[in-house]
Amino acid sequence: MKRLAVYCGSASPQDTRYVELAYTVGKTLAKRGIGVVYGGGRLGMMGALATGALEAGGEVLGVIPDKLAGSEVANTDCTELTVVSSMHERKQAFTDLSDGFLTLPGGVGTMDELWEAISWAQLGYHSYPVGLLNAFGFYDSLIAFRDHMAEVGFVRPAHQGIMIADSALDPLLDRMRDYQPHRPIFDMKREEL
Is 113 inside a domain boundary?
Answer: yes
Distance CA 159, CA 48 (A): 32
Is 191 inside a domain boundary?
Answer: no
The torsion angle over the Cα atoms of residues 93, 32, 78 and 73, rounded to 10 degrees, is 80
Q: What is the pLDDT of residue 75?
A: 93
CATH number at residue 9: 3.40.50.450
Is 193 inside a domain boundary?
Answer: no
C-alpha neighbours within 13 Å on the C-beta side of residue 115: 12
Is 156 inside a domain boundary?
Answer: yes
* Chain-centroid distance, C-alpha 171: 16
Is 146 inside a domain boundary?
Answer: yes
What residues in the chain have per-residue pLDDT under 70?
72
Residue type at position 145: F
Distance CA 122, CA 150 (A): 13
Query: How many structural domains does the chain have?
Result: 1
pTM to 2 decimal places: 0.94
Q: What is the DSSP string of 4-50?
A: EEEE--SS--SSTHHHHHHHHHHHHHHHTT-EEEE--B-SHHHHHHH
Is 137 inside a domain boundary?
Answer: yes
Q: What is the pLDDT of residue 72?
A: 65
Domain that holds residue 13: 3-180
